[in-house]
Chains A and B, each alone.
Chain A
């Protein structure tokens, strides 16, 4: 029993990476922008946070300040990426897929260049314990949860609340469904698109930071980060564009991704080396099934936003 609980907590902790990533992507997609740059943005978020920690990791500042400054560093670089993306796709009306892919290429590459030069003992060793507050130092599995994990849950719930319970959310969804109509009603389409993309990018960037500093907390963590950016995009579909559902979805994905190393402990399941890739494939297969089933049922509220991927130019008919 205890083993299962430990595993659940580990899946939750792992899942927070995608929780951030897909909450950010949902906000962007609700504004009608399919941001394939999320993997790159998450990488840049990680790099930004680590750059700050690298500078202040051994400075002896109070712990809470180090935590906050690290988060701000992650937000700054990832929101900058979001700004590049929205400038190109909103103002310059560029193709979203191409811009997103270019951003992923750029962000992933730049992070690797930056991270390969930094000293992990500075940005990682001290700060890790600070980010695991209040459970740091415990012997049980609770020790892998920390402030950033709880922040992920709060952000996901808050995003759902804003999207579905406030006027701002209503306007944002209107922009994503049909920008021309939203424009006619007097909603500032450009402003909403910029804000949603930049805030979404900031949230996603925290995911990358969390993965490097907190969940993995290893020097090589940054090399495997990009793949989880793509998994976050999958999770958006799995969660049916609802941020609060990413909490469940990310746990399931985290479970499947780490299950292969876990079930070797269970005697009645025969595990071979070949089980691992199959289990890791499952999140994507399940996502495809969800995508197909929702399109077959064709219920409006479970579909992607109607104008997803299309540029908006007011004077075009």
Chain B
């Protein structure tokens, strides 16, 4: 009788963890990165001829990784500079992601800001004092970024338009806007704007220190804004549950528009740092896909501005190390993308083992055993 009513327990059973010790979570992530690096080594043995013929040189492969960012002080400063720009865009995305507004348009928002700031430089450079020019460029960059983010935000707030797709499309509108302006501006038809002589952000110490300090300050400031202010709290509530927000009297539309304005303006800051701080020029590749990488950086850090410093550093370390490898081992310049992709797969996958618990069916058919 008892046997007949016994039902078969599934082999694997999942349950969501209520909480996980931070140390354990970080150990799991570290293990995932280590595993990813091993797979990268295997992939390299397949893709790089010199390693395929001579697998013993794999040690050199990993050594080159480190060399890419740390072997000379110039490389190290370049590492810090690229990290700062990537971090700045990631920070810009954080408020909207906390609100579960999936902004995939950081690339366009930043690019259009670079364009705005260079446009001011192009038309007014040399005609007004440099300090005034820099201020106007700053305002233009922030305004352009904010407008680019505001358009999807208004549609989301008013008609609930899908924000992921909308912001994604805005990226390409920005790209072609840049190529349009370049055709107009550059008379000889080459569409590449030579580096402008005006509108250069002053430097302290070396070329990059000011930019690095600005972004670090931004990270701390944003952390305080999101964790300790009323605005930050409202963002979290809207992100957790729109209905709860409505119930406690938060105007969801207002929060969406305000947060996206902030997001766009911060992308504008990143654009200003690129335009006025580094390039003094604009191309369709001024942002170079960092707007998309920033989405992953922000997500990896669980939208915590301070942790983002580490995750942006990790991604930049991989990028620069793999770039060094493609140089030293003579493979395509796209090799860093392969490495970053593989590592990301592993980190993305490991989040599952942090958030969920896996129970296997025990042989006795009683209490399920659990692993991890």
Contact = CB atoms under 8 A, between A and B. Distances in A.
A109 B161 CA distance: 32
Residue from A95, A104, A111, A113 whose CB has the most chain B CB atoms within 10 Å: A113
Nearest to A85: B345
Nearest to A93: B352
Interface string B172-210: 110011011001100001000000000000000000000
A110 to B, nearest CB: 5
A287 B337 contact: no
A277 interface: yes
A287 to B, nearest CB: 5
A8 interface: no
- If over half of B's interface residues share one DSSP class (helix, strand or loop), that class is named, otherwise mixed; here it is helix
B100 to A, nearest CB: 10
B180 A278 contact: yes
Q: Which 8 A-B pairs have the closest CB atoms?
A: A106-B341, A109-B337, A112-B334, A281-B176, A92-B352, A102-B344, A295-B161, A277-B180
B172 A273 contact: no
Contact of A237 (B165, B183, B338): B165
Interface stretch (B57-65, B125-133, B292-300): B292-300
B169 A102 contact: no
A148 B104 CA distance: 32
Given A110-B338, A298-B159, A288 B356 contact: no
A55 to B, nearest CB: 16
Interface in A68-96: 84, 87-88, 91-95
A244 B47 CA distance: 39
A316 B16 contact: yes
Interface string B135-171: 0000000000000000000010001111011101111
A34 B348 contact: no
Given A36-B104, A106-B340, A276-B183, 10 more contacts: A34-B165, A94-B351, A99-B345, A105-B340, A106-B341, A106-B345, A109-B335, A112-B332, A288-B166, A291-B166
14 contacts: A34-B164, A34-B165, A92-B348, A102-B345, A102-B348, A105-B340, A106-B338, A106-B340, A106-B341, A277-B176, A278-B180, A284-B172, A284-B176, A295-B161
Contacts of A116: 332, 334
A313 B15 CA distance: 9
Interface in A90-135: 91-95, 97-99, 101-114, 116-117
Nearest to B189: A273
Given A280-B176, A281-B172, A273 B183 contact: yes
Interface in A33-64: 34, 36
Contacts of A274: 180, 183-184
Contact of A304 (B102, B165, B183, B335): B165
A156 interface: no
Nearest to A281: B176
Contacts of A234: 168-169, 172
A233 interface: yes
A101 B296 contact: yes
Given A274-B180, A298-B159, A313-B16, A109 B334 contact: yes
B345 A84 contact: yes
Contacts of B336: 109
Contacts of B16: 313, 315-316
A288 B160 contact: no
Which bucket holds chain A's interface residue count? 35 or more
A138 B333 CA distance: 39
Interface string A221-235: 000000000110110
B345 A88 contact: yes
B349 A309 contact: no
Residue from B15, B176, B340 whose CB has the most chain A CB atoms within 10 Å: B176
B182 to A, nearest CB: 8
B331 A98 contact: no
A93 B349 contact: no
Contact of A281 (B173, B189, B352, B355): B173
Interface string A145-187: 0000000000000000000000000000000000000000000
Contacts of A5: none
Contacts of A295: 155, 159-162
Contacts of A95: 299, 348
Contacts of A104: 292
B165 A103 contact: no
A101 B338 contact: no
A315 B17 CA distance: 12
A290 B110 CA distance: 24
Residue from A93, A230, A274, A291 whose CB has the most chain B CB atoms within 10 Å: A291
Contacts of B344: 98, 102, 105-106
A65 interface: no
Nearest to B179: A277
A287 B169 contact: yes
A291 B172 contact: no
